[in-house]
Chain A
Amino acid sequence: MYVDKLSLRNWRTYSELTFEPASGLNIIVGDNAAGKTNLLESLYYLAAGASQRTSRDSELIRWGSDSFQIQAEIRGTRARHSLEFSYHQNEGKKYLLDGVQMDSLREVLGVVNAVIFSPDDLSLVKGAPENRRDFLDAEISQIDPRYQADAVRYRRIVRQRNDELKRIASAKSSKATADLLLDPWNEQLVKTGRELISTRLLMLRLWGGSSCKSYKKLSRGSETLTIAYVMSTQPKKVVVVAGSRVEEADGDISGKAPGRSSLRRRSEQLLSASLKKLRDDEIRRGYTLAGPHRDDIGFYVNQRAARHFASQGQQRSVALALKIGEVQWMKTQTSSQPLLLLDDVMSELDSSRSERLAQLVGEDGQTFITCTDLGDLNIDRLEGATLWRVDAGEVMRVG
């Protein structure tokens, strides 16, 4: 899948831009704050329907205007498409596929697939659980519109349920009344929640396998990576999705693939049980304390939690391995190579890591690399690459 032409209007620092990238490797050079990241962000937006940097679309509008527009000509494996996203401060989002306005985001997700590598990736390992959940949700949504719809629905259920909990607490309702009021939200929370959890487990398992392999290569075979799903319904226990067993494991799906329905059943049991157990606590605190909105991904290097025990270098490798796994996973799921967006990462990586990344870049897909200086790039094969310079809201071809 390739982007043949990208047009931006009032996007971030760009007032009007037409960019016709090459099908292979595009290297984008520019000073700090010249707009390199903004350009990659717009390409990512085409894939995810949201920015990787902010959830507020209004922040993406160029200063002084009231709307933005991203339009792209896409060459897919089978057909060409024209895709357009726009956002207006008063009118909201609009999606156009081949000139036809679509009702919902999920109808246009999957036309473009992209994986972005940026210095912020480290926060996937080091940062708060929210970073990992958002990442997981965004990546799965790119290729699974059903998941995206479920995630939106689930967020609304939790919001309604939290307000119901607060209403029950302030009305000092009897147990029977409280249960009558809570039941409809509990039932929906379990029903939608189990879909999110089972999809996450299955996806993470597929994707974790190649991440673990990549990690092994990055560490020259000396270290192992384990990826686990941490369920908030089962404190201090995790489900291993890829890699070797860890002490905290209460389940392991890294070997034989479990059926979707068995995962669904298991998640449903755990969710129902924890809703029962946490009931009084939740009414007192006014929050839904367990469920996919509180779950996490756990990374273990040599069976020890990477967040606490791994070195900065190891954490960087985990983040990179995770992203490389994502590219492989996306390739198999969509049977086409996603756009690779490398935002200022080459200068940060040591030679073995950038070598591994360069192998990915070498494959026949469309890649965008940004840097402030060509000398920073640890890539040998620059022949065949197209060079662009970003300056003052313009992108010019320089080689």
Chain B
Amino acid sequence: MPAFFAPSVARLIEELCKLPGIGPKTGQRLAMHLVDRPREEIRDLADALMDVKEKVGHCSTCRNLTDSDPCDICADGSRDRTVVCVVEDPSDVVAMERTRQFDGLYHVLHGLISPMDGVGPEQLQIQPLLNRLRSDESDRIEEVILATDPTVEGEATAMYLGRLLGPLGVEVTRIARGLPEGGNLDYADEATLVRALEGRRRVNLNSERQ
């Protein structure tokens, strides 16, 4: 199809089509849009692309994407340094931060264990997590929260980490699954209800003390 376009346009379409979620039709639409934009706007876009490649890197502590090392979150002295939330990728950090409820630190795995995609624990940022847990910093990490997706791969990764971190004497927890906020019990599907039932917790504090 690109053969019908001028070579420079065809090249742009081909490059755009390498991006995730962009098919030939969308690539073509984006390219035609870009061709029509003023020169300055295109320069800004190109600069932004080059800039991100030159500046962004992985935080040496939490492996999140950052322009400075350590990243803003790891450098923030007001955060609780005894809790680390383990997530699949940087967009999960953004999702957690939006809640404004979590003020601990993060660790980004950059993927999940998935043998059929050739991804094992050694392809993930697990070693840096172990280093963090073993280091002799003054703020000891007391709890690791496993916040991977409830998919087959997310569960496998959480279980693997649970077993790996267990012997290190740190508390390992898994985020809860179940009814969504504002959800009605009678609208929930069976799978969600079963999960919620599995993740039930005690509310009668008295009996716990007995």
Contact = CB atoms under 8 A, between A and B. Distances in A.
Contact of B152 (A90, A156, A163): A156
Interface of B: 23, 113-116, 120-121, 152-153, 155-160, 163-164, 189-191, 194
A149 interface: yes
B183 to A, nearest CB: 15
B156 A146 contact: no
Given A159-B116, A163-B115, A145 B159 contact: no
Interface of A: 90, 106-107, 145-146, 149, 153, 156-157, 159-161, 163-164, 166-167, 180-181, 183-185, 187-188
B191 A160 contact: no
A180 B23 contact: no
Nearest to A186: B159
Nearest to A164: B115
B116 to A, nearest CB: 5
Contacts of A159: 116
7 contacts: A146-B190, A146-B191, A159-B116, A160-B115, A181-B120, A181-B121, A184-B160
Contacts of A161: 115
Most chain A CB within 10 A, of B152, B155, B158, is at B152
Q: Is the interface of A mostly helix, strand, loop or mixed?
A: helix
Given A90-B23, A160-B114, A146 B194 contact: yes
Nearest to A150: B191
Shortest Cβ-Cβ A-B pairs, 5 listed? A163-B115, A184-B159, A184-B156, A164-B115, A146-B190
Contacts of A156: 152
Contacts of A145: 189-190
A153 B150 CA distance: 11
A107 B192 CA distance: 13
B197 to A, nearest CB: 12
B146 to A, nearest CB: 12
A184 B157 contact: yes
A336 B163 CA distance: 49
